[in-house]
Structure 1
Amino acid sequence: MGDAHRHLIRSRQTAVVYEDCVSNFLAFRSTGKVPAEGPFLRAEADEFLFLNSLVWQQKTLDQHRQALNKVLCIELPRYRASVPTFVRSRAYTNDEINLIVSQMSQRHALSARLISATGMRAFELLSLSDVDKCSPSPDRPWRSDLFSGLTNFVRCTTVGKGGLARSVAIPKVMYEEINQLRFVWPTIVSDRRKSYTPTFDLAAGQALSLAFTRASQKALGFSFGIHGLRHSYVQRRLNELQGQGFTFLESLEVCAQEVGHFRKDITLHYTTVRG
């Protein structure tokens, strides 16, 4: 895609996903021995989606449709995936989190505990900064009651999907730990083909995700991925907020903003309880 994403897509992370989708489409075309440089026919993209609707889940199918629509400037039909999508809980219990962390290095364990306490994504640790250095996105209707019920925390800022900057509440004791890890000089760190200049020298991104998965497999015999810590955060905060008198929908909206969704329907998926 080169620099095309700058004109088509606002989020660099979305551009990376779309680039992978387009690469899959080009690989599909190459099997038909058609010129790699085009022209690209709508019928080819349509056939690509139809055939893969038989083997992909809906989310993967929709991602490829969106990518092709954007890059080829067309509107392809939405196919229903033949492979069902199973929604299951990915939340870890506190005991499970402690067991996983015990199998990690001190550096990785600190980042895992930080994600568990704040609901951040693994890559968001790379943009974590003090609130006076980066303010929450001003174009969003932020609730005034975020982090209700939490005490002894330091408010910081991170940047998530789509460039959304939001506040996160870091326990004061944990903030004192990461405060010792500030970079003295600007340092460039790369993760998933994107460059960051982090404030803190924290394990983050894909490397952290892989380390967490290995530790979870070793400690528990299974892994829901480090994203499961966000599920745990949402479920814990829902219980805390409802215990303070918030309704379920109010609690869901607060949680949605705290984890950087702004859509209650997405956050609702995090509430599934393990059987």
Structure 2
Amino acid sequence: MRGSVDWQTAELVKVIFVEGTKKEDRVNPTHSNFLCVSSFKTMETYRSVLNNAGHWMKEFYCIKDFEQITAEHIEAYMLYKIEYYPSKQYLAKISAALGKLEIALKRYTLQKYGVEKHYDFQIRQLHLTMAKSLNWVYDGYRNRVYTNPYALIASMTNPLHTIGASIQVQGGSRAEGICLIKAEQLHGYRIDNIIGKEVGVIETKEKGGKIGDILVNIETYQKVEAIIKMDGKFKINYKAYTEEIRNVCKKHGVSCESSHGFRWTYAQRRVREYQKAGYSYEEALQGVSWEMKHFRCSVTEHYLG
């Protein structure tokens, strides 16, 4: 399947959207409109999810053809979304949209090749159920800070995970910002004017395509640099990374906030550093917001509760 992500989702929508089709037909396995979508608004919502998923998979898995999407990619995307502590309704919408993607791909390949290709995205529903049962979805404010993040990091057995978590705690990066770092993203050293110390500078590309520098300890920077010199890049398997975080949290008997908990920890610490440097509370909020690739200072307040 060729074309841009948006073009491909438009083509897939055509095979499952039947405006005004009756519910009795949509739930009848023998009817041609079985499992189709009849509401334009619902289809528009689902397509928005699929566009987002498509761009994410293209960025992190180099998937340019929707026909190449597998259950592994669907699982990784669900875990990525759970990482941001979504509402129950939002995560359910994502799962539903990915379910329609499975149906659309089956019908599209049947029309194109005369044979329906196999797609099974049931893993999406399993992760939705798991997220609900483990309270990994939003249901009111919840402080996601790790009170002793370096104890968790010290318990990790994978050296890459140890470095990745350190980057998140020290620089406030999202998980996607540390899963792949290349040589051109290493920007050397500079003085962090807030704490008055020399730090390493790493450029990251994160949610929404936002690009910017994060500041990390020199030791962490040099570890990343050494790995890139040896392997050509610093790369982490996202699923394995989040699984190890869950394991070490269980080992320490603390609530697992996944890798995003390290970002929360950074936000609270960094606001205090700004205030110690003489900035007002509002100035600290805005400064940290910019560092975390947000715009409004109110976003930082969310991390403070």
Q: Offset of 1:66 from its aligned partner?
A: 11
Separation (CA, whole Å) in 1 of partners of 2:37 and 2:208: 29
Counterpart pick for 1:86 among 122, 137, 140: 140
- Any gaps of 5 or more consecutive residues in structure 1? 10-18, 23-27, 50-55, 68-82, 137-144, 187-198
Q: Provide closer, same or farther for how the CA distance between residues 58 and 148 of structure 1 changes in structure 2, counting only shifts above 3 A.
A: farther
Separation (CA, whole Å) in 2 of partners of 1:210 and 1:172: 27
Separation (CA, whole Å) in 1 of partners of 2:170 and 2:195: 14
Counterpart pick for 2:38 among 34, 37, 41: 41
For 1:212, the equivalent position in structure 2 comes to 245
For 1:259, the equivalent position in structure 2 comes to 292
Q: Do the aligned residues in 2 keep the contact of 1:166 with 1:260 (CA within 8 Å)?
A: yes
Q: Offset of 1:215 from its aligned partner?
A: 0.8
Q: 2:96 matched to 1:57? A: no
Q: Provide closer, same or farther for how the CA distance between residues 236 and 213 of structure 1 changes in structure 2, counting only shifts above 3 A.
A: same
Provide Cα deviations, 1:203-237, integer angstroms capped at 9, x if missing partner. 35232112111111111243121110100000000
Q: Offset of 1:243 from its aligned partner?
A: 1.4
Counterpart pick for 2:173 among 99, 114, 120: 120
TM-score by length of 1: 0.61
Q: 2:154 matched to 1:157? A: no
Structure 1 runs (4+) deviating above 6 angstroms are 61-67
Question: Which protein, 1 or 2, shows the higher relative CO under an 8 Å CA cutoff with sep ≥ 6?
Answer: 1
Separation (CA, whole Å) in 2 of partners of 1:253 and 1:227: 20
Q: Do the aligned residues in 2 keep the contact of 1:122 with 1:204 (CA within 8 Å)?
A: no
Structure with the bigger percentage of helix: 2
Separation (CA, whole Å) in 1 of partners of 2:210 and 2:194: 21
Q: Offset of 1:248 from its aligned partner?
A: 1.7
- Any gaps of 5 or more consecutive residues in structure 2? 17-22, 47-86, 99-136
For 2:156, the equivalent position in structure 1 comes to 104
- The CA RMSD measured in Å over matched residues stands at 4.1
Q: Secondary structure of 2:227's partner?
A: coil
Q: 2:303 matched to 1:270? A: yes
Q: Secondary structure of 1:182's partner?
A: helix
Q: 2:219 matched to 1:176? A: no
Q: Structure 2: which amino acid aligns with 1:213? A: R
Identity %: 19
Q: Structure 1: which amino acid aligns with 2:280? A: T
Q: Do the aligned residues in 2 keep the contact of 1:124 with 1:158 (CA within 8 Å)?
A: yes
Separation (CA, whole Å) in 2 of partners of 1:213 and 1:60: 20
Worse-matched range after superposition: 256-265 or 157-166:
256-265
